[in-house]
Chains A and B, each alone.
Chain A
C-alpha cells in the first residue's frame, strides 16, 4: 500500500473515531446523575407565573390536595391544552361530518317517502337517521368536553397568582 493511501486510510479512521466519540458524548452525558441534571435543567420552571405541569394536572382535584398544604395550580397545563386541542379536533371532525350528512336528512327523506306511501328503503333511512343522531351526539359531546376544558382553564386563570394557593397559605402567599 502506498504512503498516500495509508495516510488517507489513517485519517479516515481518525475522523470516524472522532465522530463516534462526539455522538456518544452527545447521547450520554456520562451517567444517570448528569443526564438527570441536564434534563431537569431543560425542564425547569423559570417563570413564577408559568404553571407547573404537575400542579395543572391536579386542577380537577385541587381541593383535597389543598387540604394537605400542596400548592394549587395557577393556570392551564400542557395536559389541558392537549385535551382542548383534542376536543377542538373532534369538534371539527364532527362539524365536517354534519356538513356532509345533515342530521335531518334521514328524517326528511323518511317523511317524504312516508307521504308517498312507499315502504321501500326503510332500512336505509333508519341507518341514515341513526347516523345523523350519532353525529349530533358526537358533536354535542365534543362541544361539551371543549367547554369543560375551557371552564377548567378559566378557573385556573382565575386563581393564577403564580404561587401555590392552598388552605395553608390562602391569602398570604405571594400575589402576582
Chain B
C-alpha cells in the first residue's frame, strides 16, 4: 500500500515536471483547431492561433539564422513576417539584424517602432546606442549608454535586466565617446554645441532633401537632444524654431512614413 502510494507520488511528480515545458512550447505544436459554425467569435479567436504559431515559427527560424550570423537570410525572414503578419515587436528583430548588417539608420527606425509598440528591451536599447555611436550621433549614444549603465543597478519593474556583458560594453562605449558638448563648453569651447547641432541639422536637411524622412527624423532627434544640453536659453529657443520648421517640412512630405506620434514627441521635447 505504502509502495503504491510512493509510486503514484513519483508519477505525479514526473507528470508535473514534463507538463511545464510541454505547455511552454504549446504555441508551436498545437494542431489547427476545428472551426465551429455555431460560435463565430470563438472560432475567429481560435483561428488566429495557427497564424500566431506560424509567426512564432518564422520568428524562431529568423533567430536561428541570426544566431548563425546569416544576417541577410534572417532579414529576409523577418521582413516576410513584417509583410505577412504585422507583429507588434517585429521592429526589435529587424533592428537587431539591420544593425548587424551595418544599416544603422534603418536599425534606429526599426527600434523606434519597437518603442512605439511599448516593448521595453534593454538589449534593443544597447544596439540602438551602438548604432547611434556608429553614425556619429554622439549625444544620443552617450545618453543611451549612460541610461543603460544607470539602469543596471536597478532596472525598472517589468523590464528585463541588462546582462553583465552588455553593462561592461556600455561602460566601454561611454569611455570611448568624446566629452559631451556641455563639458567642452565649460572648458572654453562654447561653439562646440553649436557645431554639433549644425552638423545634425544639416544631416537631417540632407536626408529630407533626398526623401528619407525617417532618417531625417533620427538626426532631428539628435539635434534636439544636443539643444537640450545647451546652457544658453536664447540659442535653445532660436534653434528650436529651426527644428520645428524642419519637422513641419517632414510632416508635409508626401508619402512620408514618419508617424505623427514620433514627430509630436519630438515637438514636445523641443517645447520644454
User: Which residues of A are in contact with B by a Cβ distance under 8 Å?
Assistant: 2-3, 6-7, 9-11, 13-14, 16-18, 20-21, 24-25, 28, 30-33, 35-37, 39-49, 52-58, 65, 68-71, 73, 78, 162-164, 166, 168-169, 172-176
Contacts and interface: CB of A to CB of B under 8 A. Distances in A.
A7 B3 contact: yes
B63 A168 contact: no
A164 B136 contact: yes
Contacts of A7: 3, 6-7
Given A24-B25, A57-B102, A45 B130 contact: yes
Contacts of B101: 54, 57
A68 B210 CA distance: 9
Interface of B: 2-4, 6-7, 9-11, 13-14, 17-18, 20-21, 24-25, 27, 56, 59-60, 62-63, 66-67, 69, 71, 89, 92-93, 96, 99-105, 121, 123-124, 126-127, 130, 133-136, 138, 160, 163, 165-166, 168-169, 172-173, 176-178, 195-196, 199, 202-203, 206-207, 210, 212, 215, 219
A28 B168 CA distance: 26
A-B complex: 8 closest residue pairs judged by Cβ atoms: A54-B102, A169-B136, A10-B10, A32-B59, A46-B169, A54-B101, A71-B134, A48-B176
B117 to A, nearest CB: 12
B200 to A, nearest CB: 9
Contact of B14 (A13, A78, A162, A166): A13
Contacts of A33: 59, 89, 92
A164 B11 contact: no
B169 A36 contact: no
B17 A70 contact: no
B189 to A, nearest CB: 13
A169 B3 CA distance: 77
6 contacts: A3-B2, A14-B13, A33-B92, A35-B67, A44-B126, A68-B212
A28 B60 CA distance: 10
A70 B135 contact: yes
Contacts of B134: 52, 55, 71, 163-164
Given A31-B27, A36-B63, A174 B133 contact: yes
A168 B201 CA distance: 10
B10 A175 contact: no
Given A32-B56, A45-B130, 6 more contacts: A13-B11, A21-B20, A21-B21, A40-B127, A48-B172, A174-B133
